[in-house]
Chain A
Amino acid sequence: MAEAVFPSFPTRHEVDFVIVGSGAAGGVMAKELSVAGYSVVLLEQGPHLKAADFLHDEWGYDHNLELTWGRSQGYPQTFRKFESDVAEEREMVCGYAHNVGGSSMHYSGNFWRFRPIDFVEASVRGPIAGTNFSDWPITYAELEHYYTKVDWEVGVSGLQGPWDPPRTREYPCPPMPIKGSDVLLERAAKAMGLNPYPAPVAILSQPHNGRPGCIHCGFCNGYGCEVNAKSSSLVTVIPVALASGNCELRTHCTVHRVNTNERGRATEVVYWDVDGVEQAQRAKAVVLCANGSETPRLLLMSESAKHPDGLANSSGMVGKNLMFNGYSTVMGLFDEPVNAYKSVPATRVVHDFYELDPSLGFYGGGGIDGRHPSRGAPMGFALTAAPAFGTPTWGSEFKADLAYQFSHVAAFDGHTTSLPLSTNNITLDPTVKDKFGRPAIRTTYMDHPDDIETMRWFYEKTVEMMEVAGASNIVGHYERDGQEGNVHLLGTCRMGNDPDSSVVDATNRAHDVPNLFMCDGSSLVTSGRGQPTMTIMALAFRAGELISQAARRNEI
């Protein structure tokens, strides 16, 4: 795509929209609004990395957090399980990549659509005491058109499966070739009477929209794609936004406040630019797409006399209902080389347990896929496999074991529901600051007992599947004492019709501020089954279209 002459808007010039965050949602939003003809400033706190910048650099990315940033880059976070605890500094509590494309740059690209039940589960299943489990204000049918836009405009490979919700158009690309780890999963699942089918992934199995197909290098999850086959917003919608000639992308911009006027309208977004100089971009409307931890932090930091508890927070729900998705993993060793470290993370899913039987006595559900236990990364495997298997952790035997284990291992992972709780939340840390002086993101999180039971159920089911698959040395893990961090950051500015119990309405507009919109993982009312980005992007396509229409009607 030919690169257009990029506009450069003066900060004192009131642009139509300023968007904070260029990730999965922000990229889609920038494309929708700029292509519709509106002037857009897209603010991103990280750099604009390109395919050529991405390496298989496990030490740099996984161990020194060069893409996700942590304390050593000046961005500490804190964590506590309960509100009565004092939070402690911890790396990677809320994990996300800081760069154009956000975490869509380094995600694994598992693009399960939510299913109709996800939007109405609270009324179908009934309320769960002590939680904020609610229906969405929109249905699957209302979102289907936008899921299809994601399939085609962003680029998804897959094949309609027996459990998939109805779709109006086929996938643009066929599914990825099956990996050995998923042959083992599929055979075990079939032997157990289950229905495994090809995993939908936001990675191209063949050329699409001018991008090449995957070369199966194996470095998806946690890494940037070196050939642009992974369908991040970085290489899909953002180039379209920039080519429109209406979107200015400003990188290395650290936002710390949204200002409002006496009429209660957002007027400008205040940030430090690449040189650390404070700037304020005026705009007719502001769209926050900063993710489920940054968006609520920014709202809480934007408190004022008129908004003493934070901007758009009359409900008290900003930052609350944080949902991580649960997770379980089981690995085993096989007689022949599996080589699960090659190619995309997962090529088969089992969705027979999307809704667990209520007679089990707890709420939950999820999906299962096959993987390499360390995401294919050699260092991570060498560090963790021997302690997990109970084999020698150093010396000649350790070394000999590694050569066998790394290539002969497969993992079956469970991806599960999280319930929304007021006590699981993002707040401003009272003492720890980042290098700009912004309060650190403080996460308070303890999985609901049903979420832990669900993880346990999936853990035990995948142990059984490993046994059926013929694995030896089966070991596994789930967070029986509750998770202490995740990369899924959901629910913290939830969508709803009732301004007393939700932050944004069904069009992603803040109930309290007519020209402020929040659209990212924070909008999700329920957690889905562990692969939220497809839904985040679909919501952004929908919100972008609705915001554009509202602007045209002069209703912002």
Chain B
Amino acid sequence: MSVSRSRRCFLKDSAAVAKGSFLALSLPVILSACQRSQRALEQGADFRVFDAAEAADLIAIAARIIPTDETPGATEAGVIYFLDNIFAEPRRASQLALLREGLVALRGQSPLGGRYFHELTDAQQDQLLHDNAQTSFFATMRYLTIAGTFSLPRYGGNRDKVGYQLIGYEDRGAWSAPYGFYDADYAERGE
């Protein structure tokens, strides 16, 4: 394949990207929303499907896939609520069973030895997920974490649209030209 794969050469310093985007502008709003979500979690909000330990593990895994750093991640997006909603649908019963099997299987691996995933340090969690990166369980968790982060808030995730803000999707629903740099430049030059 005759394509350039100069991996990551485009990647600007992530802080600079955040600073230049509207992500940074609305950060205080996002963070206060996140604190609300976090409080709900700490207060042991009821889940329809998952018990507290399962929920804590799922939250922890999703948080390694889309972490919370300078900006909100899967935890603040409420991915756990998305998961709890969709797995409450009877048609997903067999998928739920597989997900639970995956969680149990994870607990059997070193260094867990029966402990829960969420009890590990971040570094240990990352290592364990790296070891499982090729499994269908991890692929499923990656898929569902992304789905929960970027789906409409009506499904339970993407709370306060933190997913849209994270990816740089302006959720305005309507625009007029110019839409970006290049078409603005095109108009300016009279092309």
The answer to whether A and B come from one shared complex is yes
A306 CB → nearest B CB, Å: 42
B147 in complex: contacting residue of A63, A177, A397, A474, CB < 8 Å: A63
Q: A396-B69, A473-B4 are in contact. Are A404 and B11 (CB under 8 A)?
A: yes
A399-B73, A404-B12 known; A59-B152 Cβ under 8 A: yes
Of B67, B179, B191, which contacts A216 at CB under 8 A? B179
Within 8 A of B (CB), among A324-349: 330, 333-334, 336-343
Contacting chain A: which of B29-37, B98-106, B168-176? B168-176
Complex: how many Å from CA A476 to CA B3? 8
Q: Which of A50-58, A154-162, A294-302, A416-424 contacts B (4 or more CB under 8 A)?
A: A50-58
Q: What does the 1/0 interface line of A339-382 toward B look like (CB < 8 Å)?
A: 11111000000000000000000000000000000000011011
Q: B49-60 vs A: 1/0 string, CB under 8 Å?
A: 000000000000
| Complex contacts, A405 vs chain B, CB 8 Å | 10
Query: Contacts A217-B173, A378-B167, A403-B18: A394 and B64 contacting too (C-beta < 8 A)?
Result: yes
The distance in angstroms between the C-alpha atoms of A343 and B21, with both chains bound, is 20
CA distance A405 to B127 in the complex (A): 26
Residue of B nearest to A214 (CB): B174
- How far, in whole Å, are A374 and B82 apart by their CA atoms in the complex? 22
**Does A184 sit at the interface, judged by CB under 8 A?**
yes
Interchain pairs with CB closer than 8 A, number: 169
Measured CB to CB, the nearest residue on chain A to B67 is A396
Number of A residues contacting the other chain (C-beta, 8 Å)?
Answer: 65
Kindly state whether residue B26 has any CB partner on chain A within 8 Å.
no
Given contacts A57-B152, A400-B17, contact A407 B180 (CB under 8 A): yes
Report the nearest A residue to B186, measured CB to CB: A183
Q: Which chain B residues (1-45) contact chain A, with CB distance < 8 Å? A: 1-12, 14, 17-18, 21, 23
Asked if A474 meets B3 with Cβ closer than 8 Å, knowing A55-B152, A381-B167, A403-B166, the reply is yes
The yes or no answer to A72 lying at the interface (CB within 8 A) is: yes
Q: Once the chains bind, are B23 and A403 in contact (CB under 8 Å)?
A: yes
| Nearest-neighbor residue (CB-CB) of A409 within chain B | B10
Given contacts A391-B8, A402-B166, A403-B168, contact A72 B64 (CB under 8 A): no
- Residues in A with CB closer than 8 Å to B91 are 72
Does B65 interact with chain A (Cβ within 8 Å)?
yes
Determine whether the beta carbon of B179 is less than 8 Å from that of A343.
Answer: yes
B73, B164, B180: the one within 8 Å of A180 (CB): B180
Contacts of A338 in B (CB 8 A): 180-182
The answer to the question of B88 belonging to the interface, with a C-beta cut-off of 8 Å to chain A, is no
Instruction: Assign chain B's interface to a size class.
Output: 35 or more
The reply to whether the CB of A395 lies closer than 8 angstroms to some CB of chain B is yes
Residues of A contacting B181 in the complex (Cβ-Cβ under 8 angstroms): 180, 336-338
Question: Cβ of B183 and Cβ of A179 under 8 Å apart?
Answer: yes
On chain A, the residues within 8 Å of B183 by CB distance are 177-180, 182-183
User: Are B179 and A215 in touch, CB under 8 angstroms?
Assistant: no
One of A333, A337, A381, A391 near B180 (C-beta < 8 A): A337
A401 within 8 A of B: yes
Select one of B3, B17, B177 contacting A475, CB under 8 A: B3
List of B residues within 8 angstroms of A398 by Cβ: 65-66
Cα of A118 to Cα of B67 in the assembled complex, Å: 53
**Which chain B residues border A177 with CB–CB below 8 Å?**
176-178, 183
Instruction: Answer whether residue B150 sits at the interface, using C-beta atoms and an 8 A cutoff.
Output: yes
Q: Are B177 and A343 in contact (CB under 8 A)?
A: yes
Is residue A460 within 8 Å, beta carbon to beta carbon, of the partner chain? yes
Query: Which of A334, A381, A393 contacts B142 (CB under 8 A)?
Result: A393
Q: Is A437 an interface residue (CB 8 A)?
A: no
**Residue contacts A-B, CB under 8 angstroms, 17 given:** A177-B176, A177-B183, A179-B180, A180-B181, A333-B10, A334-B182, A336-B180, A339-B179, A342-B180, A394-B65, A394-B129, A395-B67, A396-B14, A404-B168, A406-B168, A472-B6, A472-B9
User: Which A residues are closer than 8 A to B by beta carbons?
Assistant: 55-60, 63, 72, 177-184, 186-187, 215-218, 330, 333-334, 336-343, 378-379, 381-383, 389-391, 393-408, 460, 463, 467, 472-476
B residues adjacent to A (C-beta < 8 A): 1-12, 14, 17-18, 21, 23, 64-67, 69, 71, 73, 91, 126, 129, 142-143, 146-147, 149-152, 155, 163-164, 166-169, 173-183, 185-186, 191
Query: Besides the contacts A379-B146, A403-B166, what 11 more A-B pairs have beta carbons closer than 8 Å?
Result: A56-B152, A57-B151, A58-B150, A177-B183, A183-B182, A215-B175, A340-B179, A343-B179, A402-B168, A403-B23, A460-B2
